[in-house]
Amino acid sequence: MSDDNTPVRRPLATKSHGRLSIGASLKPRELMTDRPVLKEAWTAKVITLFPSAFPGVLGESLTGKALQDGLWQLQAIDLRTFGKGKHRDVDDTPAGGGAGMVIRADVLGEALETALPRDRSRWPVVYLSPRGKRFDQAMARRWAAGDGITMICGRFEGVDQRAVDHYEVEEVSLGDFVMTGGEIAAQAMLDATVRLRPDVLGNAASTEDESFSDGLLEHPQFTRPAEWKGRTIPDVLTSGHHGKVAEWRKSESVRLTRKRRPDLLAPDQSENDT
């Protein structure tokens, strides 16, 4: 209490993670606290029961530097703050019976209302779900070309379908397997997307000659020493002949793709390329 008997409101506890300060909040907030909210920056808004899981690995390396430099921004929205009742419940038993719990439509709906842009034409809203369309490089390019993204990290047995349908949420899967929640999937997808944003990698050519950039797996890479444990670098790569190097790399990309991911090849490539 203060001298005039007015209750003193103590600040919410925060956790320090190096340069990052993360604390509980009823509103979405930027995770790099020494940076203002940038109106023009590509923004990821992640609805999650575990906001302290972000930025996670996204705060490291090139994506972390880009986050620090304001090339993109990240807001973790704590779903629990929209929970109902004394204990801020976010889930309930599945209609029709069954095991597990389901995130409530009214709770998720209120969270989405804080995370949806006015114009969604350049802002995907996705629910990370094992029954969704499988995430790929083309999807990452589409997301990177927009203004931002809102992601819903599922938990338990999933979310009430009414919220997904009402807000026209796109369901996306990281792969054909089930995880305990969507937080790891969200970080993986955001990493693949953010690195395609201008100036994040520092060299646009870095994204042009890698797996899936042209529908093929990337060719093998080598560097010094010239010989290691009896294994040498292919002669063509040290020939200085750029045309032959390009041909070798394309040939290796097709070979590896045919061997490991034939589903990526067009019919003529699968049958005729060497």
Four-residue CA torsion sign, 257, 171, 151, 142: positive
Q: Whole-prediction pTM value?
A: 0.80
Q: What is the CATH number of the domain that holds 264?
A: 1.10.1270.20
Q: How far is CA 148 from the centre of its chain?
A: 11
Four-residue CA torsion sign, 90, 43, 126, 15: negative
DSSP H/E element including 268 = helix 267-272
As given in the structure block, the two tokens for residue 149 are 């993204």
Residue 149 confidence (pLDDT): 98
Looking at the domain assignment, is residue 150 inside a domain?
Answer: yes
As given in the structure block, the two tokens for residue 152 are 């819903």
Q: How many helices (H) and strands (E) does the chain have?
A: 7, 12
Looking at the domain assignment, is residue 154 inside a domain?
Answer: yes
Residue 38 confidence (pLDDT): 63
Looking at the domain assignment, is residue 255 inside a domain?
Answer: yes
Same structural domain, 116 and 186: yes
Same structural domain, 139 and 225: no
User: Looking at 194, 228, 248, which one is the last position of a domain?
Assistant: 194
Looking at the domain assignment, is residue 9 inside a domain?
Answer: no
Same structural domain, 190 and 216: no
DSSP classification of residue 265: S
Residue 215 confidence (pLDDT): 82
Same structural domain, 261 and 127: no
Cβ distance 103 to 127 under 8 Å? no
As given in the structure block, the two tokens for residue 39 are 């109106």
Looking at the domain assignment, is residue 123 inside a domain?
Answer: yes
Same structural domain, 34 and 126: yes
Residue 211 confidence (pLDDT): 53
Same structural domain, 55 and 166: yes
Same structural domain, 71 and 150: yes
Same structural domain, 118 and 62: yes
Q: What is the CATH number of the domain that holds 131?
A: 3.40.1280.10
Tell me how far apart the alpha carbons of residues 181 and 222 are, in angstroms, rounded to a whole number. Answer: 37
Residue 23 confidence (pLDDT): 41
DSSP classification of residue 40: T
Residue 52 confidence (pLDDT): 98
The reply to whether omega before 28 is within 30° of 0 (cis) is no
Same structural domain, 19 and 116: yes
Looking at the domain assignment, is residue 8 inside a domain?
Answer: no
**Range of 33's domain?**
14-194
As given in the structure block, the two tokens for residue 219 are 């060719």
Looking at the domain assignment, is residue 2 inside a domain?
Answer: no
Per-residue pLDDT of the chain (274 residues; tens, 9 = 90+): 545 554 444 444 444 444 443 444 455 545 544 555 566 899 999 999 999 999 999 999 999 999 999 999 999 999 999 999 999 999 999 999 999 999 999 999 999 999 999 999 999 999 999 999 999 999 999 999 999 999 999 999 999 999 999 999 999 999 999 999 999 999 999 999 999 999 999 765 455 555 556 789 999 999 999 999 999 999 999 999 999 999 999 999 999 999 999 998 977 665 555 4
Same structural domain, 44 and 169: yes
Q: Give CA angle at 212 (211, 213), nearest 5°.
A: 95
Same structural domain, 127 and 86: yes
Looking at the domain assignment, is residue 4 inside a domain?
Answer: no
Give the end-to-end CA distance of the chain in Å, rounded to a whole number.
80
Name the phi and psi angles at 153, rounded to 5: -90, 110
Q: pLDDT tens digit string along 105-147?
A: 999 999 999 999 999 999 999 999 999 999 999 999 999 999 9
Same structural domain, 242 and 111: no
Total number of domains constituting the chain: 2
User: Looking at 149, 166, 194, which one is the last position of a domain?
Assistant: 194
Residue 2 confidence (pLDDT): 47
